[in-house]
């Protein structure tokens, strides 16, 4: 009885909190959009509510034992520093940070339209508590998550498996993961060298760091301002529906123009369906990442959960290298403060190569692994060639013309901070795609 | 060593400068000796690209990316019709051609240019009765048209064994056939299967199955999957948290298949000459040897005798950045040892009676790997590294003792066989350099205990000497301009030796693989044998440089 009362009280409190946040956000969005001003806001243009939510102090108290961590305990409370936002964003890596199984449909398309696609079934064991808190609390070098990947498509990759053991980094422990691979043609489980973090996987646009996420303590953080995003991943006009899968394997169709940035359960959309974001920039710390081939990373983080909806990576010369855009979905309702949101669809765009990859997480099945199940999370398990959870996806693209559009450059936003120039040829292809509503291949007039 | 330096220098040129001397020399060799397949490649790949406009070629490329008739019309419809059935197919064609002129080499009548024109069709089906119970069948259909197309007198191996030419027996076609039952912690796999132990390139503890060595020194790690000879066995594995124990009980036995008389890779050092070998049915049927000795029926293990069965066990442990394991195998020697069991005299003189017999062996092995990231490496910064180590100690391996054999032939006592323990071991360092350059340096070592002059070859021991040392160097890099579809790689294997010989030659393999589509892959391979004397491991094949084409479609 007492428990029920407490629950009702907590729900009421949450409802009040959500209502007040909604009210404030509505005002905030109204301030920016109804006035007809630009969607992006520099620090001096922030709304009062946004100013209350941020902490612009350059130096904040440090943790006594681990000086590269903030003194305030994670997950922090408002107002938030840019650094704290960077730490909060660690919750939202490519794969959800709780134990689960899913089918990951992925693909890459070149500027000529050469399309490759595949499906891998992922089993994730988040070894302690869900999300980033346990990773932050670990000692450098300790493992915090284990991933098993079983490739089922295309046929040449059927049975290829990988195991990743994710480790917390430290100044003296730069290895981010142990990496094992099983190749059916060799029938061998082999430990692979830990991948170079910013180097893309073979043949695709995204790197291991794009998948594993950045560790906030390796970067210096600064707030650039705020912005309202109305689109991230863009479907072509010739792809009206997409087939998705429920955890139990049931397939269902969704109209592509109905898919919102953070799907239906996100409560803080602006009146016109946008998502208000803080825009922060992370620059690599030289002592942590001395030869990192990235000069800065810019995040668009939703202002409530700090979910990164758009990420830009710039090369050593400050030129745009990569745009990552996401559609998220609340997959884990048990977690508070929006921590249950996870990537549903991600598009990675290499602006230098004009190469575009996607990854769609389908049939997401939450798991609480039993002791017996955990035997599956060892390198030797891969020798068994046992696909324990045959999750499937029918979300792959049918033809190159129906592939996702290149993400918008948003070149007019924060122009002093972002060098968004692309080659004239790529600019022409972007213009052609925007005009046609789908990717255009072949010669395009500049 | 000088020759090795030259090879390495040449190879370095390949890395730093595309128009290298090595590549140039390969191109010159190829075009000085026109090969049909190269011409076909030019026609198939280069001309269309040149003739078709850029946009047309891109359109062709786009259509190829989704071209999968096998999947569209066969596997997917069947899988939809029969729930629980999984069907896969692979069609692979390999063609290898010598770049040297026809000429007799040693005892071989080498009047052919084709080393293989093999087409292999693999059909794999598995049916899942329940999440835990599955039946798997993998079938091979092979035809090597080199015996029909090339027409050289030196190619007559199909008279020795039809399997060099085509697979037409149940044993060869039904390659794997097993039932597997799995629970979270236990695997039971019963039936005909192949087992690959170990983590290295090359076979160190990968010892369970015998091998089809028809390609001799050109057999590569990538070929093991189709060249292992599966056996009927029970395969049980139990998984603890970070430990697994694997036990094999193998009633079946398969002997190695070696290059036979009349096959392209038969050693030029093996008498008699092809002229007399191809006319001797006794020799081809293994009833006689080159010296005119009588060879009796080979004594093979008998599966109906429990004491003839083979048993193996493996323990694997994962502990953070380190994984390691131990193996033991109570096995039969794969190649029969030719024991002298008597003598006789005929019109041509005194001869021996030979009884080939497979002998018992004890194998003890260890495997390990460890990963770390090196910081502050000059010019590179951080460098991810993996170290792998593997070793196999074999007790009482049989070697032909030519010194004793000569004494027996002269009337002395003995059986012509000498027992020696052997050790083979390797360390492999794998580095992930920037720009997706992958480098593996694998020093491999082979040692025969109590070695003496006149010993032949025995399981796991050095070849032609007390010890062999092969520091294998491998490098690969995808070409970013092709979106990593083109992968270039080079493998250099110098073979050093002591205390008798110094250097037995170097094998160099240059390979370009291209992803034609997600379903079709093509490779162009050049293999060079360089240095060493005519009776050395690689030296005997220095006129066997060849260029190969591989095409594979998987659906």
Does residue A25 register a pLDDT over 90? no
Mutate to test the interface with B, among A148, A371, A375 (most CBs of B within 10 A): A375
More confident residue, B319 or B249: B249
Give Cα A111 to chain centroid, integer Å: 24
Burial of B1 (0-12, 13-18, 19+ CB in 10 A): exposed
Q: What are the residues whose beta carbons fall under 8 Å from the beta carbon of B85, sequence distance 6 or more?
A: B78, B79, B125, B126, B127, B128
Please report the pLDDT score of residue B52 as a whole number: 59
**Which residue is associated with the tokens 């799907």?**
A263
Give residue-wise pLDDT tens across range A293-339. 899 999 999 999 999 999 999 999 999 999 999 999 999 999 999 99
What pLDDT band is residue A371 in, cutting at 50, 70 and 90? Answer: confident
HEC string for chain A: CHHHHHHHHHHHHHHHHHHHHHHHHHHHHHHHHHCCCCCCEEHHHCCHHHHHHECCCCCCCECCCCCCCECCCCCCCCCECHHHHHHHHCCCCCCCCCCEEEEEEEEEECCCCCEEEEEEEEEEEECCCCCHHHHHHCCCCCEEEEEEEEEEECHHHCCCEEEEEEECCECCECCCEEEEEEECCCCEEEEECCCCCCCECCCCCCEHHHHHCCCHHHEEEEEEEEEEECCCCCCCCCCCEEEEECCCCCEEEEEHHHCCCCCCCCCCCCCCCCEEEEEEEEEECCCCCCCCCEEEEEEEEECCCCCEEEEEEEECCCCEEEEEEEEEEECCCCCCCCCCEEEEEEEEEECCCCEEEEEEEEEEEECCCCCCHHHHCCHHHHHHCCCCCCCCCCCCCCCHHHCCCCCCCCCCCCCCCCCCCCCHHHHHHHHHHHHHCCCCCCCCCC
Both structure tokens of B480: 């970013």
Please report the pLDDT score of residue B371 as a whole number: 87
Does residue B35 register a pLDDT over 60? no
Does residue B19 register a pLDDT over 50? no
Please compute, for residue A116, the number of CA atoms within 13 A of its CA located in the half-sphere on the CB side. 21
DSSP annotation of B286: T
Whether residue B533 contacts residue B93, with contact meaning beta carbons closer than 8 Å, is answered with no
Task: Report the alpha-carbon distance of residue B316 to residue B391 in Å, rounded.
Answer: 15
Give residue-wise pLDDT tens across range A42-94. 999 999 999 999 999 988 899 999 999 999 999 999 999 999 999 999 999 99
Q: For the residues B471-486, what does the mean pLDDT come to?
A: 93
What's the whole-model pTM score?
A: 0.85
Task: Report the alpha-carbon distance of residue B394 to residue B205 in Å, rounded.
Answer: 11
CA distance A255 to chain B (A): 25
- CB-CB neighbors (< 8 A) of B195 in chain A: 187
DSSP annotation of B46: I
Asked if A386 and B237 come within 8 Å (Cβ–Cβ), the reply is: no
Share of chain B above pLDDT 90, in %: 77
- CB-CB neighbors (< 8 A) of A441 in chain B: 55, 58-59, 62
Asked if A374 and B386 come within 8 Å (Cβ–Cβ), the reply is: no
Mutate to test the interface with A, among B126, B196, B227, B384 (most CBs of A within 10 A): B384
Please report the pLDDT score of residue B14 as a whole number: 31
CA-based end-to-end distance of chain B: 47
Q: For the residues A413-435, what does the mean pLDDT come to?
A: 95
Give the one of A186, A188, A202 whose C-beta lies nearest to B484's C-beta. A202
- CB-CB neighbors (< 8 A) of A384 in chain B: 182, 187, 237
Both structure tokens of B510: 């240059």
SS3 call for B59 = helix
Asked if A155 and B239 come within 8 Å (Cβ–Cβ), the reply is: no
* Partners of residue B178 on adjacent β-strands: B136, B191
Whether residue B116 contacts residue B95, with contact meaning beta carbons closer than 8 Å, is answered with yes
Nearest CA in chain B to A204: B483
What pLDDT band is residue A36 in, cutting at 50, 70 and 90? Answer: low
Task: Report the alpha-carbon distance of residue A231 to residue B490 in Å, rounded.
Answer: 46
Nearest CA in chain B to A354: B483
- CB-CB neighbors (< 8 A) of B373 in chain A: 174-175, 194
Asked if A187 and B225 come within 8 Å (Cβ–Cβ), the reply is: yes
CA distance B436 to chain A (A): 7
Please report the pLDDT score of residue A290 as a whole number: 87
- CB-CB neighbors (< 8 A) of A355 in chain B: 483
State the Rg of chain A over Cα: 22
Give the one of A196, A202, A378 whose C-beta lies nearest to B242's C-beta. A378
Give residue-wise pLDDT tens across range B245-265. 999 999 999 999 999 999 999
Phi, psi for A305 (deg, rounded to 5)? -105, -10
Nearest CA in chain B to A181: B199
Please report the pLDDT score of residue B361 as a whole number: 97
Please report the pLDDT score of residue A8 as a whole number: 44
B311-333: buried (b, 16+ CB within 10 Å) or exposed (e) per residue?
ebebebbbeebebebebebebbb
Does residue A29 register a pLDDT over 90? no
Does residue A267 register a pLDDT over 60? yes
- CB-CB neighbors (< 8 A) of B224 in chain A: 186-187
Asked if B244 and A156 come within 8 Å (Cβ–Cβ), the reply is: no
Share of chain B above pLDDT 70, in %: 90
Asked if B62 and A112 come within 8 Å (Cβ–Cβ), the reply is: yes
- CB-CB neighbors (< 8 A) of B242 in chain A: 378
What pLDDT band is residue A20 in, cutting at 50, 70 and 90? Answer: very low
Give the lowest-confidence range in A116-130, B8-22, B487-501. B8-22
Give residue-wise pLDDT tens across range B77-92. 998 899 889 999 999 9
Give residue-wise pLDDT tens across range B360-403. 999 999 999 998 888 888 888 889 899 999 999 999 999 999 99
> Which B residues, 204 through 243, put their C-beta within 8 Å of a C-beta on chain A?
221-222, 224-225, 237, 239-242
> Which B residues, 257 through 296, put their C-beta within 8 Å of a C-beta on chain A?
none
Please report the pLDDT score of residue B102 as a whole number: 82
* Partners of residue B399 on adjacent β-strands: B418
DSSP annotation of B333: -
**Parallel/antiparallel/unpaired status of strands B486-498 and B467-479:** antiparallel
Whether residue B313 contacts residue B371, with contact meaning beta carbons closer than 8 Å, is answered with no
Give the one of B184, B518, B554 whose C-beta lies nearest to A375's C-beta. B184
Q: B484 in contact with A at a CB cutoff of 8 Å?
A: yes
Please report the pLDDT score of residue B179 as a whole number: 98
**Distant-in-sequence contacts of A420-423, Cβ < 8 A, 24+ apart:** A420/A320, A421/A319, A421/A320, A422/A320, A422/A351
Asked if B185 and A372 come within 8 Å (Cβ–Cβ), the reply is: yes
Does residue B3 register a pLDDT over 50? no
Asked if B386 and A191 come within 8 Å (Cβ–Cβ), the reply is: yes
Nearest Cα neighbor of A309 from A340, A284, A278, A270 is: A278
Average pLDDT, chain B: 89
Tally A–B CB contacts below 8 A. Answer: 166
CA distance B406 to chain A (A): 43
Q: What are the residues whose beta carbons fall under 8 Å from the beta carbon of B379, sequence distance 6 or more?
A: none
- CB-CB neighbors (< 8 A) of B431 in chain A: 193
Please report the pLDDT score of residue B48 as a whole number: 52
Q: For the residues B267-296, what does the mean pLDDT come to?
A: 94
Does residue B158 register a pLDDT over 60? yes
Phi, psi for B160 (deg, rounded to 5)? -80, -45
What pLDDT band is residue A39 in, cutting at 50, 70 and 90? Answer: very high
The ipTM assigned to this model is: 0.80
* Partners of residue A378 on adjacent β-strands: none
Asked if A442 and B71 come within 8 Å (Cβ–Cβ), the reply is: no
Give residue-wise pLDDT tens across range A161-212. 999 999 999 998 888 889 999 999 889 899 998 888 888 888 899 998 999 9
Give residue-wise pLDDT tens across range B401-415. 999 999 999 999 999
> Which B residues, 119 through 148, put their C-beta within 8 Å of a C-beta on chain A?
131
DSSP annotation of B255: -
- CB-CB neighbors (< 8 A) of A178 in chain B: 320-321, 371
- CB-CB neighbors (< 8 A) of B54 in chain A: 443
Give the one of B371, B432, B554 whose C-beta lies nearest to A191's C-beta. B371
Q: For the residues B40-48, what does the mean pLDDT come to?
A: 50
**Which residue is associated with the tokens 């961590």?**
A69
Give the one of A179, A184, A378 whose C-beta lies nearest to B239's C-beta. A378
Give residue-wise pLDDT tens across range B500-550. 899 999 999 999 999 999 999 999 999 999 999 999 999 999 999 999 999
Phi, psi for A20 (deg, rounded to 5)? -65, -40
> Which B residues, 141 through 180, put their C-beta within 8 Å of a C-beta on chain A?
none
Give the lowest-confidence range in A2-6, A322-326, A351-355, B242-246. A2-6
- CB-CB neighbors (< 8 A) of B241 in chain A: 374-375, 378
- CB-CB neighbors (< 8 A) of B519 in chain A: 154-156
Please report the pLDDT score of residue B26 as a whole number: 37
Nearest CA in chain B to A286: B381
Nearest CA in chain A to B372: A175
Both structure tokens of B243: 């430990």
**Which residue is associated with the tokens 């324990």?**
A388
Please report the pLDDT score of residue A222 as a whole number: 97
Does residue A252 register a pLDDT over 50? yes
Q: For the residues A117-134, what does the mean pLDDT come to?
A: 95
């Amino acid at each position: 009885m007492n428990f029920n009362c407490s629950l009702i009280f907590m729900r009421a409190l949450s409802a009040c909190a959500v209502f007040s946040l909604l009210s404030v956000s509505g005002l905030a969005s109204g301030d920016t959009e109804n006035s007809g001003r630009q969607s992006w806001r520099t620090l001096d243009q922030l709304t009062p509510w946004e100013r209350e939510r941020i902490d612009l102090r350059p130096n904040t108290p440090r943790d006594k034992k681990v000086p590269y961590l903030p003194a305030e305990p994670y997950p922090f409370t408002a107002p938030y520093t840019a650094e704290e936002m960077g730490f909060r964003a660690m919750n939202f890596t490519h794969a959800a940070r709780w134990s689960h199984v899913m089918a990951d449909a992925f693909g890459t398309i070149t500027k000529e339209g050469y399309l490759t696609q595949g499906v891998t079934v992922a089993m994730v064991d988040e070894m302690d508590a869900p999300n980033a808190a346990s990773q932050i609390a670990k000692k450098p070098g300790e493992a915090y998550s284990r991933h098993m990947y079983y490739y089922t498509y295309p046929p040449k990759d059927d049975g290829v498996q990988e195991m990743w053991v994710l480790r917390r980094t430290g100044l003296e422990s730069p290895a981010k993961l142990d990496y094992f691979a099983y190749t059916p043609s060799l029938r061998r489980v082999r430990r692979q060298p830990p991948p170079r973090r910013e180097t893309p996987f073979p043949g695709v646009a995204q790197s291991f760091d794009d998948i594993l996420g950045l560790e906030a303590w390796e970067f210096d953080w600064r707030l650039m301002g705020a912005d309202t995003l109305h689109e991230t991943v863009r479907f072509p006009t010739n792809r009206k529906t997409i087939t998705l899968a429920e955890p139990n394997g049931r397939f269902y169709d969704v109209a592509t123009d109905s898919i919102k940035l953070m799907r239906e359960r996100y409560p803080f959309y602006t009146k016109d369906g946008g998502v208000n974001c803080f825009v922060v920039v992370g620059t690599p710390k030289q002592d942590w990442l001395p030869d990192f081939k990235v000069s800065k990373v810019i995040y668009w983080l939703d202002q409530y959960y700090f979910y990164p909806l758009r990420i830009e990576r710039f090369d050593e010369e400050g030129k745009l290298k990569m745009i990552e855009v996401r559609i998220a979905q609340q997959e884990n309702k048990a977690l508070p403060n929006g921590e249950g949101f996870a990537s549903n669809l991600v598009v990675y765009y290499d602006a230098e190569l004009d190469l575009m990859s996607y990854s769609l997480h389908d049939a997401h099945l939450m798991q609480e692994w039993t002791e017996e199940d955990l035997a599956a999370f060892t390198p030797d398990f891969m020798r068994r060639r046992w696909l324990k959870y045959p999750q499937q996806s029918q979300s792959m693209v049918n033809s190159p013309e129906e592939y996702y559009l290149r993400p918008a450059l948003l070149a007019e936003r924060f122009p002093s901070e972002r060098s968004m120039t692309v080659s004239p040829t790529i600019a022409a292809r972007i213009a052609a795609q925007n005009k046609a509503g789908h990717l255009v291949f072949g010669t395009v007039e500049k | 060593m000088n020759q090795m330096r030259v090879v390495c220098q040449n190879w370095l040129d390949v890395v730093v400068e595309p128009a290298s001397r090595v590549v140039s020399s390969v191109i010159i060799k190829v075009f000085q000796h026109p090969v049909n397949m190269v011409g076909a490649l030019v026609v198939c790949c280069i001309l269309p690209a040149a003739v078709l406009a850029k946009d047309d070629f891109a359109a062709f490329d786009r259509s190829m990316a989704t071209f999968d008739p096998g999947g569209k019309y066969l596997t997917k419809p069947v899988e939809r019709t029969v729930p629980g059935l999984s069907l896969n197919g692979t069609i692979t064609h390999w063609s290898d051609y010598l770049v040297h002129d026809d000429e007799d080499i040693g005892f071989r009548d080498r009047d052919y240019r084709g080393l293989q024109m093999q087409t292999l069709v693999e059909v794999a089906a598995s049916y899942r009765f329940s999440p835990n119970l599955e039946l798997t069948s993998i079938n091979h259909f092979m035809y090597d048209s080199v015996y029909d197309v090339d027409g050289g007198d030196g190619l007559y191996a199909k008279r020795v064994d039809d399997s060099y030419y085509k697979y037409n027996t149940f044993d060869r076609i039904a390659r794997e056939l097993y039932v597997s039952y799995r629970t979270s912690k236990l695997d039971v796999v019963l039936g005909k299967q192949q087992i690959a132990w170990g983590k290295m390139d090359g076979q160190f503890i990968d010892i369970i199955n015998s091998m089809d060595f028809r390609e001799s020194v050109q057999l590569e790690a990538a070929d093991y999957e189709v060249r292992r000879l599966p056996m009927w066995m029970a395969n049980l594995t139990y998984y603890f948290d970070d430990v697994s124990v694997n036990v094999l009980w193998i009633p079946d036995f398969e002997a190695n298949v070696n290059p036979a008389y009349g096959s392209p890779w038969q050693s030029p050092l093996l008498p008699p000459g092809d002229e007399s070998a191809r006319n001797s049915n006794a020799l081809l049927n293994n009833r006689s040897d080159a010296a005119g000795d009588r060879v009796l029926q080979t004594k093979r293990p008998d599966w109906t005798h429990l004491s003839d069965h083979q048993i193996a066990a493996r323990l694997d442990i994962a502990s953070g950045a380190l994984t390691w394991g131990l193996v033991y195998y109570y096995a039969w020697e794969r190649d029969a040892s030719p024991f002298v069991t008597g003598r006789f005299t005929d019109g041509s003189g005194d001869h021996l009676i030979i009884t080939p017999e497979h002998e018992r062996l004890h194998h003890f092995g260890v495997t390990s790997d460890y990963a770390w990231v090196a910081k502050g490496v000059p010019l590179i910064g951080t460098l991810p590294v993996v170290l792998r180590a593997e070793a196999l100690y074999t007790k009482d391996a049989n070697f032909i003792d030519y010194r004793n054999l000569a004494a027996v032939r002269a009337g002395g006592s003995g059986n012509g066989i000498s027992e020696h323990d052997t050790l083979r071991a390797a360390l492999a360092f794998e580095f992930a350099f920037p720009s997706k350059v992958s480098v593996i340096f694998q020093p491999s070592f082979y040692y025969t205990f109590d070695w003496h002059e006149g010993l032949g070859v025995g399981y796991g021991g050095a070849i032609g000497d007390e010890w062999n040392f092969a520091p294998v160097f491998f490098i690969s890099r995808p070409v970013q301009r092709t979106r990593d579809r083109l992968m270039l790689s080079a493998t250099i294997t110098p073979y050093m030796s002591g205390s008798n010989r110094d250097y037995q030659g170097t094998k160099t393999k240059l390979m370009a693989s291209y992803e034609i589509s997600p379903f079709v892959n093509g490779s162009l391979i050049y293999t060079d044998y360089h240095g060493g004397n005519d009776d050395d491991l690689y030296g005997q094949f220095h006129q066997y440089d060849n260029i190969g084409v591989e095409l594979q479609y998987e659906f």
